[in-house]
Amino acid sequence: MNNRVLLVDDEDDILISLKRNLVKHFQIETANSGIEAIRLLNTSPQFACIVSDFNMPKMNGIEFFAEAKKIIPNTLRIMLTGHADLNVAMEAINQDFIYKFLVKPTFPDILIKHLKDAVEYYRLQTMEKEMIDMKVNFISIVANEFKTPVNSLLTAAYLLPEFFKINDQKKVDNFMSKMQITLEGMNKLLEKILTIGKLDANINLKFFDLDIVSIINELIKEFKSADSIGHDFLFDHLQTQLYISTDLVVIKLIISNLISNAIKYSPKNSIIKVKLTNEIDQIILSVEDCGIGIPENQIVHLFDAFYRCQNVGFQKGTGLGLTIVNKGVELLKGQIKVNSIIGKGSTFTVILNKDQRIYKFNQ
């Protein structure tokens, strides 16, 4: 959490005193004039709150806040003054330059309380903006993802009657097949988008004692029967049974999407390794493939919705599978790690607590 606070005052003794009282609670930076503070904001603008004196030479507090707002409009601003000047307060408030107006001397505990409120307000404000930006970006990406298949369907719908007229059954069958494939792809994309929506909404988790070994075996069996290019599956585990308290839907989403991702980017007849390790209070699940690998500088974006690495080529995919994995792991209060070597493959490791109910009810 950003708890950086900038203190601005032309009296060094006041700056030293304020910093001494606040440094245990906040990350403090200081400036002894509005001009110096502006220079600092231009080079390092990530502040949750600015506290400034009003009476300063060359640039007073209101003038400083007017410039500061242009640089960092979302940062909260608190004005300190030794003069209870109502006109000054009204001017600052009316121009929307300040969050709070405090009269000096202000007791440290009172200032700390106001700053904690400001930092929390900044956090919520920033989080809300990020969520809005994410939603706008998400809607834009979804619209683009559907644009191509919808255009394909419209083209097919326009041409099919013409083929019926000339009784060209071969072209009719070909277009019908393409339409079916397109619709299936759109349906899968919709299912994944809806799944992400449910995970984002913190679905009501239902915890049961489940045998994770049995769940993995069943999923591997399903993937084997559907795999048409001959991957081999190796499930490495010591226990014949291993019970953990978890949500069946979420744990299956995590495992199935990891295995599906491994299959998608691995060559035919290669091995997909699934390993389950039993620790005292945790399980460690890893899925390893022999695929194309992930460029190191792109790993940070792997769990972003619709993100696909630059080296995937023409391999089909929505870029949502790993997003679902990550959201599922977060929902179960676990961790996920990625190791990858270009041309050799990738390993995704998920660490989960055996009794996830504890972490649900104590969060």
Q: What's the average model confidence in pLDDT over 342-348?
A: 92
Closest by CA position to 129, among listed 73, 192, 56:
73
Annotation: CATH topology of 4-127: Rossmann fold (3.40.50)
Residue 109 one-letter amino acid: D
Domain borders along the chain are 4-127, 145-200, 207-361
What confidence tier does 105 reach under pLDDT thresholds 50, 70, 90?
Answer: confident
Question: Of 213, 279, 222, 224, whose CA–CA distance to 251 is shortest?
Answer: 213
Extended beta strands in the chain, E state: 4-8, 27-31, 49-53, 76-81, 100-103, 207-211, 232-236, 243-247, 271-278, 282-288, 335-341, 345-353
Q: How confident is the model at residue 198 (pLDDT cuts 50, 70, 90)?
A: low
What is the number of alpha carbons within 13 Å of residue 50 lying toward its C-beta? 33
Residue 141 has a pLDDT of 60
Q: Quick one: what percent of the chain has pLDDT higher than 90?
A: 34
Position 130 scores a pLDDT of 72
Mean pLDDT value of segment 126-153: 69
pLDDT at residue 142 tops 70: no
Q: Residue 37: its pLDDT value, please? A: 93
**What pLDDT is attached to residue 363?**
44
The model's pLDDT over 276-312, given as tens digits with 9 standing for 90+, comes to: 999 989 999 999 999 888 888 888 888 887 667 766 7
- Report residue 223 as tokens: 């993937």
Model pLDDT for residues 35-57, shown as the tens digit of each residue = 999 999 999 888 999 999 888 88
Structure pTM?
Answer: 0.55
The span from the CA of 359 to the CA of 353, in Å, is 8
Burial per residue of 10-48, b for 16 or more beta-carbon CB atoms within 10 angstroms, e otherwise: beeebbeebeeebeeebebbbbbbbeebbebbeeeeebb
3-class SS string, 289-358 = CCCCCCCHHHHHHCCCCCCCCCCCCCCCCCCCHHHHHHHHHHHCCCEEEEEEECCCEEEEEEEEECEHHH
Q: Which among 78, 77, 75, 76 has a CA at the least distance from the CA of 46?
A: 75
Query: For domain 207-361, is the CATH number 3.30.565.10?
Result: yes
CB contact burial 78-94 (16+ within 10 A = b; e otherwise): bbbbeeeeeebbeebee
pLDDT tens digits along 217-253: 999 998 888 887 788 999 999 889 999 999 898 899 8
The Cα 215–Cα 54 span in angstroms is 65
Decide if pLDDT at 8 tops 70.
yes
